[in-house]
Amino acid sequence: MEISSIKALFWIGDVPITNTMVNTWLFMGIILIVFFVLTRNLSLVPQSKGQVLAEMIVGAIDGFAESAGGKKAKDKYAPYFLSLFSFFIVCNWSGFMFLGIFRAPTADIATMLPLSLATVYLMESNKIKTNGIGGYIKSFFEPFFLFLPMNIFGTIAPIISLALRMFGNLFAGIVISTLFYQLYVNNGFVVAYTCLIGLVLVFLVATGNIKKIQAALKSIDSKFARRLATTGLAILCVPILAATFIHGYFDLFSGFIQSLIFTMLAVCNIGDAMGGE
């Protein structure tokens, strides 16, 4: 298993089709299917749980966009913000949902850079619409002409920061999880052992026998033997707990935070460019 796992799966003429591109199409398809199912047979008064959930999601995005970016940003760009957040969440959580089988497209700078460029384009184009060409050019010389280089850099910096923030966090998660799994790939016995223990634990929890194990441990007379048995069981669970922590933090927690930050910055900056009304 390689850490740098961006690779061409097949070619269309001279154009390589990478796993990032295929995974992007796959996750976009998942999003389209989910929203299609949620919005089928819409009615004025919600009759299905899917419509209720869809209205909750749209209402949350509308409220967030209006409070952070203003009414104009909400009315015009709420679908864009919802699309961004949905795409990021599905991509960032793919490592946890699919156990690392699919590489998150957001861990590829080739995905994040175009999305950053599109967001910054909306920011700058709305600044021009709000202030006019003359006002937009004049803003680069404020508060006076010596600030021209800094203002130009301030326009370019969001492209880099938006792209690298999420890319860096997701790629770091892939590096750490890959290094962790390499331990098992290089040791077939450990792989089989971990899978077996995982299946046993799932079976015990599902059948309610975990309480019997706790009772058996408590029934051991020797305090040393009881601690030894408890420690042995804990050691058996270490690989499962470690994998759960790695995916839980880097995929679920960090993935959600980075999705929220990117969307929030897009809402705030675009709303500010539109006048914040």
pLDDT 10s digits, 135-162: 888 888 887 778 888 888 888 888 888 8
Distance between CA atoms of 102 and 89, rounded to whole angstroms? 14
Q: Which residues contact 202 (CB under 8 A, 6 or more apart)?
A: none
**DSSP label at residue 17:** E
Q: What's the whole-number average pLDDT of the chain?
A: 79
pLDDT beyond 80 at 15: yes
What pTM was computed for the model?
A: 0.76
Residue type, 147: F
Q: So what's the pLDDT on residue 93?
A: 86
pLDDT at 2: 47
How many angstroms separate the Cα of 275 from the Cα of each of 72, 130, 131?
A: 8, 7, 9
pLDDT tier at 16, thresholds 50, 70, 90: confident
Percent share of the chain, pLDDT over 90: 16
Peptide bond into 143 cis (omega under 30): yes
CA 171 to chain centre: 11
Give dist(CA 270, CA 125) in Å, integer: 9
Q: CA–CA separation, 179 vs 1, rounded Å?
A: 9
Helix then strand then coil, in percent of the chain rounded to 5, is 80, 5, 15
Q: Are the C-beta atoms of residues 271 and 68 closer than 8 Å to each other?
A: yes
* Cα→Cα distances 92→6, 99, 105, 154, 171, Å: 16, 12, 8, 28, 10
What pLDDT does 67 receive?
Answer: 87
In which band, very low, low, confident or very high, does the pLDDT at 39 lie, cut at 50, 70 and 90?
Answer: confident
User: How far is Cα 167 from Cα 67, in angstroms, rounded to an integer?
Assistant: 27
pLDDT range class, residue 101, cuts 50, 70, 90: confident
Local confidence band at 115 (pLDDT 50, 70, 90 cut-offs): very high
pLDDT higher at 245 or 189: 245
